[in-house]
Amino acid sequence: MNITIKETKSWLKEIEVTIEPERVKEKIAKITASYAHKAQVPGFRTGRIPSPILQKRYGATFESLALDELFEEVYKEILKEKNFVPITQAKITDYTLSDDKTLKFQLSFEVMPEFELKNYTGIKIKKQEPTGFDEEFDKRIKSLQERCATFTTLNRPIENNDFVLVDYEIFESNKPVAQKQNGVMIQIGSAKNHKEINEALIGAKAGDEKSIAITFDKDYPDKEFANRTITYKFYIRDVKERKLPEIDDNFAIDLGFKDLSELKNQINEEILQNRAKVIEEDMKNQIYKYLTSEHKIEVPDSILEQIYQEMLNELNIKDSPEVKERLGKFTQERATFDLVLAKIADKENIKPTDEQIEIELQKYISAGIDKNKVELLRNNPMFIARLQKEKTIDWLMEKADIT
């Protein structure tokens, strides 16, 4: 056997293979012998078919089977000899079988790219110090207060800051452009409403209908409406006044707490937990940026495509040439990060323990997922790879230089 390896890309192995006639003939003879005793030809007893008749009837089939076996054998021999670890199925192309039974073909497959790990311990990370704790506390308790608000009907025309229960439809050129919305509560004067809607509804009362045409300029922030004229048709069901509860012990008790102090402690704890997660994610992102900037890797096409499809699912968007171009940089970065983490994990022998796997599986069961389906994950390579990735990031955090 003679092989010539083309090095067009570090991750792509394109190999020209030539198999000597003797080996091909031997393989064909072996295949022929293995089928001779069970082949059937009308007029001849099974196992007693003359060789010329057998070759005429089944020769092409035996030859095809012999080539398939040779392709598989040669592929395994090359992997073992060259220590290649393929990440895609091998492709056989451009094969020819000469009259003297010399077999030539091209074998191609992708392998993990070779690259040198840059320094990955002692990565310098700046731990952020979040501010605005009091503002966040006020925002959360105000949100609870608004959720517990009560509304009373006002028997008068709409005024600024009133709450109005409406049904509405949206039209363009007298054609509906969205499904009708029923029972929507809006606050007059809110910045969430277009100013023309706020102005047009003041003075209206329950039972009125209002049609409001708005022309959005081409620079309008919401591109869905930019450079269009949209007509809103409102039916006013009710005009209401909102009453907010006092923030006191009774307010806390209505929410299921012992008193206001316990409610405040709970809010404080939630803010601290959320901020701890934000800080941790920021530090992990700094590791991500460091590793992706330090390592320039030729990423195999198959890995880029896999990452790209994952991103489409995460973002819930459809594939298109424009989307692929827009996400190209991020796809390359994420693929680089995953490859670097995998190599670090291999070098440092970082693997999820049986205990860690069990803890993660129990999370799925606690979330209501069928136990039998969860059990299938135990030896799932993608599941194990995700845990290994998370554990490697945690290991890098422990080894980082955090200031």
Domain with CATH 3.30.70.1050 in the chain: 2-110
What fold is seen in the domain 150-243? Answer: Chitinase A; domain 3 (3.10.50)
Report how far apart, in Å, the C-alpha atoms of 112 and of each of 147, 276, 301, 303, 403 are: 54, 36, 11, 9, 35
Q: 345, 296 in Cβ contact below 8 A?
A: no
Domain with CATH 3.10.50.40 in the chain: 150-243
Domain with CATH 1.10.3120.10 in the chain: 259-402
Here the tokens at position 141 are 């308790």
Q: Which CATH architecture has domain 2-110?
A: 2-Layer Sandwich (3.30)
What fold is seen in the domain 259-402? Answer: Trigger factor, domain 2 (1.10.3120)
Q: What is the pLDDT along the chain (403 residues), one digit of tens a residue?
A: 899 998 788 899 999 999 999 999 999 888 888 766 666 666 555 655 656 666 676 678 888 899 999 999 999 999 999 988 898 999 999 889 999 999 999 999 999 888 999 999 999 999 988 888 999 999 999 999 999 999 999 999 999 999 999 999 999 999 998 899 999 999 999 999 999 999 999 999 999 999 999 998 888 888 888 889 999 999 999 999 999 999 999 999 999 999 999 999 999 999 999 999 999 999 999 999 999 999 999 999 999 999 999 999 999 999 999 999 999 999 999 999 999 999 999 999 999 999 999 999 999 999 999 999 999 999 898 899 999 999 999 999 999 999 9
